[in-house]
Chains A and B, each alone.
Chain A
């Protein structure tokens, strides 16, 4: 016969490979109605009240083209985005909150980190450090602190990203969690939790970071268990 056994063997190995890839694909995913940000995040809690005239915020994704490409492939980067500006009644302190939730995280299709979103909007971004945010007496998460600047507008940012059941502070951590969960059969969801404030000078950034921490603790304190799990995994 004209087909050699060895070349048939190699093509058989390739068919087996295709089947194995199919079998290994993760199938479990978070149900569509498990997170509803608009309902879960109160407009008023503790001393904080949502401002009617919201401050303009940096988007949670890089560029505008991404949303289009997402819809072309039948996939959107985020299922829900919530952006609000809160004001503390006692002293007028303002914090902008941005939440971006995606139900299916993938290696090359996952939550955009604020570093790059701010950068692509023309902000200069400086990484200040990592900081623990105490959300309750026995619970807290690690966060990244950024100092961004667009001409005269200084904007200190505190953020973290939850992927599956873990908090991730770098793209590589996120990739590892997605891979680990995927191999064990499930597609993790993910959420970006970002707070920022506009200040007049770099020197004011320390107090802004402090205010953002208080804001997160107050917010967490007012949330239902499901909402707590959604934003901080616990």
Chain B
């Protein structure tokens, strides 16, 4: 972590009186936090109830935890300053727009609008209470909130069905080239005496979104590179998530082949964690490769910057 700022920024060096102002400025968040709880606790509860049906929400618990952790990291910026902040009409417009989005989304069970309303609400609230400068330092938080928006089930299906076909073809062809007795007929994989449904084998593809989120977070948390390295890393996030999935499906097929169907099913539970480790590890390797290929030149630039 490079950006752990010390906590009491605006209370700094003001003695006792400054500290009491500090505590007041935190109390001012209470009505806002209460409002957020009233609006979004029921939203997330409903979403988790239907998420067995809509797997587009699979990334939410992970991303929500990361987001709260990010807020904690940036807590110093959330202290409401003493000095008057210029009135922000844009901030109020955003708060009102968020309200409309939420009301329509919640009443129509349109989770994308309901959860998505958090983005304008956050930006608007920061503008109104903390001002533009704070928003500039917190820009990553609303961007990360976008990742919490559940993917509509229909869109997920449109993307996942073709993707599953590609993944299974690559896995089957790859293992066949390695000399294993594997064949694919339509959406069924045959290996040894077992047959696997591609729909089941690839069900973990839903974690692509969570992996992408974690990848973006990794890129964000490791600054101090040139813009070129950053954009290469960002561009690599999706392919890496894809490769991590290939590894997972290959592992599942191999374990089923070697130790039977039961072992394969048990691997399902462990697979998600393995996938994240593979993804982060690969990102780390890519980052190192970029460092090496750029050589001392970019290192010097980083030091100067």
Contacts and interface: CB of A to CB of B under 8 A. Distances in A.
Contact of A116 (B36, B98, B107, B157): B157
B31 A10 contact: yes
Contacts of B125: 10
A225 to B, nearest CB: 31
A119 interface: yes
Interface string A1-23: 01110111111011111101111
A2 B52 contact: no
Contacts of A150: 186
Interface in A135-168: 149-151
Interface string B43-69: 000000110111000000000000000
A87 interface: no
Given A107-B110, A122-B187, A183-B108, A18 B38 contact: yes
B153 interface: yes
Contact of B102 (A17, A116, A172): A17
Nearest to B35: A14
A92 interface: no
A7 B53 contact: no
B167 interface: no
Contact of B99 (A2, A16, A73): A16
A151 to B, nearest CB: 7
Interface string B143-180: 00000001011100110010000000000000000000
A218 interface: no
A45 interface: no
A7 B52 contact: no
Interface of B is mostly: helix
A17 B6 CA distance: 36
A108 interface: yes
Given A109-B53, A183-B108, A3 B27 contact: yes
A151 B187 CA distance: 10
Interface of A is mostly: helix
A150 B198 CA distance: 13
Interface residues of B, number: 51
Interface residues of A, number: 50
B152 A7 contact: no
A7 B25 CA distance: 10
Given A13-B95, A120-B199, A124-B187, A26 B107 contact: yes
Given A150-B186, A175-B152, A2 B107 contact: no
A179 B110 contact: yes
Interface in B100-115: 100, 102-111
A65 interface: yes
A66 interface: yes
Nearest to B128: A6
Contact of B154 (A4, A11, A20, A171): A171
A168 B161 CA distance: 21
Contact of B32 (A10, A20, A21): A10
A24 B113 CA distance: 14
Given A11-B32, A179-B110, 10 more contacts: A2-B27, A4-B129, A11-B34, A14-B121, A17-B100, A108-B53, A109-B50, A124-B186, A171-B157, A175-B152
